[in-house]
């Protein structure tokens, strides 16, 4: 889990550095053409943010998966037992984990399912939103460059 937190922190620092690059575009002396560069920096910021959030959730799922079957009282998975009352965990048969989308579900004998951690929901939405924003900004940077090239005179 410590490795996941470290990777997430490094990616978050990358997002902060890219955010500083976006803010720097507001000051005088910015390079020309500034629009494609601004869009690329913003795309990098959102990409780093997506990786940061996703890696945090990925290593949380991995940690829950690794704890399963390791030592006494590890079956069923600890993530399915911690912070839940006896009625919720009654009849627990197994768990299912997924890395895309992030989730760690606990399955009862009757087939009903409950999520071991509700924070996976916001991690999935945040990483997807940031990744889509990064893709959209990257594509927009390409279009801005292409548009500028088409507008330029043929001899210039």
97 located within any domain? yes
The 10s digit of each residue's pLDDT in 79-91 is 777 777 787 777 8
Counting the structural domains of the chain, the total is 1
Can you tell me whether residue 103 is helix, strand or coil?
A: strand
> 């927009």: which residue's tokens?
140
CA angle 28, 29, 32 (to 5 degrees): 115
The 10s digit of each residue's pLDDT in 26-40 is 788 777 778 888 899
Residues in a beta bridge with 11: none
131 located within any domain? yes
Per-residue pLDDT of the chain (156 residues; tens, 9 = 90+): 677 778 888 888 888 888 888 888 778 877 777 888 889 989 999 999 999 999 988 988 888 888 776 665 556 777 777 777 787 777 887 888 888 899 888 888 888 888 887 888 999 999 999 999 999 999 999 998 888 888 877 655
156 located within any domain? no
72 located within any domain? yes
Q: By residue range, what is the domain housing residue 125?
A: 2-151
């Amino acid at each position: 889990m410590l490795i996941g937190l470290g990777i997430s922190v490094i990616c978050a620092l990358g997002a902060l550095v890219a955010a500083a690059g976006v803010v720097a575009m507001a000051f005088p002396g910015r390079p020309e053409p500034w629009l494609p560069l601004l869009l690329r920096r913003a795309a990098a910021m959102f990409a780093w943010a997506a990786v940061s959030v996703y890696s945090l959730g990925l290593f949380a799922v991995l940690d829950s998966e690794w704890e399963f079957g390791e030592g006494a009282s590890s079956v069923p998975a600890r993530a399915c037992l911690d912070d839940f009352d006896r009625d919720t965990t009654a009849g627990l048969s197994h768990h299912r984990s997924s890395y895309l989308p992030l989730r760690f579900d606990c399955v009862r004998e009757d087939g009903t399912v409950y999520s071991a951690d509700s924070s996976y929901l916001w991690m999935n939405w945040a990483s997807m939103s940031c990744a889509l924003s990064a893709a959209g900004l990257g594509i927009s940077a390409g279009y801005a460059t292409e548009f500028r090239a088409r507008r330029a005179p043929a001899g210039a």
